[in-house]
A and B are shown apart, each in its own frame.
Chain A
């Protein structure tokens, strides 16, 4: 049986349920790398050029950890998800980089997902991927349909129930706002915006979201807003979007700013090209609306202590502001 390795990094957080369904329907076994740890990060860092961004280094680390556990590794090149929108170069060149930097790697399954080129080329690429597993086009079709369905289910589960991707993937249901409100304080409403692969990778983000929740903060993430509202907000902020993931992030930022949350925290990684431009727009907007905004930039050296101090100071500031306003 073919064992497909899926690195628990980058687009994993967005598409894992779909990928898993697809491969399992085709009769393959799916192996997911364990959550990020220091050894993985170091092995990734040792391979890549120094100024490669952290998430890519982490993906490489995950791929290296999968080398002798599977017969092939799935690293798609997701180049475009809509008309005239693209993804960051590094996501597009991911399979090529992985192949160049991990020579001992087993075969890499690298379908090019380019919606811009039209349906035909998209289907062609997926069929090409499917041929590694089956020569029966009907079986493949069924797998694609099933994968799409589980993708939609995953999305709506996050949206309807307001749960985080990691919990949605693992099927763990948690009641929203499990923290009891304090005696006299209504919980703060803070929007946390950023790439899913930064926010939900507990190793990079230093468990930022659960830390916030433990401090009786109601956290809103981009996944909890409807796609429609987000893209409308992004369009209001920057016009026609060029990058799909980032316009979702700033769209969410704008959406929550308009919803008048108490504060917005943006989490980006050092060296992220799209974020370096896009977060600025949200920050500008937050300044206009006079809503506190904390831009956090993380990298492999960022310490937990420093992050906590900034977070505490930010929360204190937001709380004091609330009190003054009331």
Chain B
């Protein structure tokens, strides 16, 4: 059995780590190559025209995994309000039509998440013993946490560094190093090392960077290919980026703390209440709440990422302008037609606007 997964941010590192620890005999893990224009083109060609970008990208990625010989594919499934519910079904049919007889294993990410992940691991490893599974899981999750920790620092450093691009370079190095780390102790050591290196990058001491929050649909927020490295581009413009949504956070809450009745979004939902008082699927409710949150925290602006025609985010987009909390929002709709230059121009204009607003505000105060 050759098991393939779609690309989604740094998740492949965790899957790889777990596979390495579990060492399931003749079962092999196939990681598709990093996403390129080809992935997108394949996805677009074989998807329904009006499907959303994450559907097209994951399909492209799965096709590339099949080309490398994957015969079993792992995919997320949700019972749900948004298109995610039919991802696996539609993609399986398409892959079948293309002549890949891949078998789909799905992870339920709306209910019984922990149980379905554990069952999946048990299935692909031909029933590895539980202690082994748990230690592999711990190791994999450890890598995700390390990477997200480093990335948080990178977001801050990018805005301040004098030599633009250094932080991103170190981050890429860190990803490779952590990917190759053989054990948890090494991961911890590497994390400290890279955080240290990042903090030693020469920075502009006087700058007080514009602070921008990033909210939106989880796939396009987390996968840099789908949002055209928007965080890097913002860093180049001297903007400090903050986003709540990370894979490690999802793992921490959805797989563990939610079962103890702790909901990471409860506060955000409460803030959204006056404008949207119930779940609309996907991340729509959270987007509205986070707008209120970022505005209260004193951020300068907000970037709302959403795939084109994403239903929950359209609801959020329609509601956002009417909130009492006033903070400029730039909605960036991601699809296969998006071009990097156009995005950069929009970002520059947006940052100009934020700087102008800040100056005016400071002028009023003085």
Question: Which residues does A use to contact B, with CB under 8 Å?
Answer: 48-49, 51-53, 77, 79, 84, 86-90, 92-93, 96-97, 99-101, 103, 112, 238-239, 242-243, 270-281, 284, 297
Contacts and interface: CB of A to CB of B under 8 A. Distances in A.
A49 B314 contact: yes
A47 to B, nearest CB: 8
A207 B130 CA distance: 62
B24 to A, nearest CB: 29
Nearest to A240: B79
Interface string B58-94: 0000000000000000000001111101100110010
A46 to B, nearest CB: 13
Contacts of B85: 242-243
A277 B90 contact: yes
Given A89-B311, A92-B278, A100 B80 contact: no
B319 A242 contact: no
Contacts of B49: 276
A90 B278 contact: no
Interface of B: 48-52, 55, 79-83, 85-86, 89-90, 93, 97, 275-282, 284, 308-312, 314-315, 317-319, 321-322, 331, 333
Contacts of B55: 277
Given A238-B86, A271-B309, A89 B81 contact: yes
A270 B276 CA distance: 25
24 contacts: A51-B333, A53-B309, A53-B314, A77-B278, A84-B79, A86-B281, A90-B280, A92-B281, A92-B315, A93-B284, A96-B275, A97-B318, A97-B319, A103-B322, A238-B86, A239-B89, A242-B81, A242-B86, A271-B50, A273-B310, A276-B52, A277-B86, A278-B86, A279-B48
Given A89-B282, A101-B318, 13 more contacts: A49-B317, A52-B318, A88-B311, A89-B314, A93-B284, A93-B315, A238-B89, A242-B85, A242-B86, A243-B85, A273-B82, A276-B309, A284-B97
Nearest to B276: A96
B82 A89 contact: yes
Given A52-B318, A281-B93, A87 B81 contact: yes
Contact of A277 (B48, B279, B317): B48
A77 B278 CA distance: 9
Given A238-B89, A277-B51, A96 B315 contact: yes
Contacts of B81: 79, 86-89, 92, 242
A273 B309 contact: yes
Contacts of A297: 50
A15 to B, nearest CB: 19
Contacts of B281: 86, 89, 92
Contacts of A284: 93, 97
A86 B80 contact: yes
Given A51-B333, A96-B275, A271-B309, A281 B318 contact: no
Nearest to A284: B93
A14 to B, nearest CB: 18
Nearest to A273: B311
A138 to B, nearest CB: 29
Nearest to A100: B322
Contacts of A281: 89-90, 93
B276 A93 contact: yes
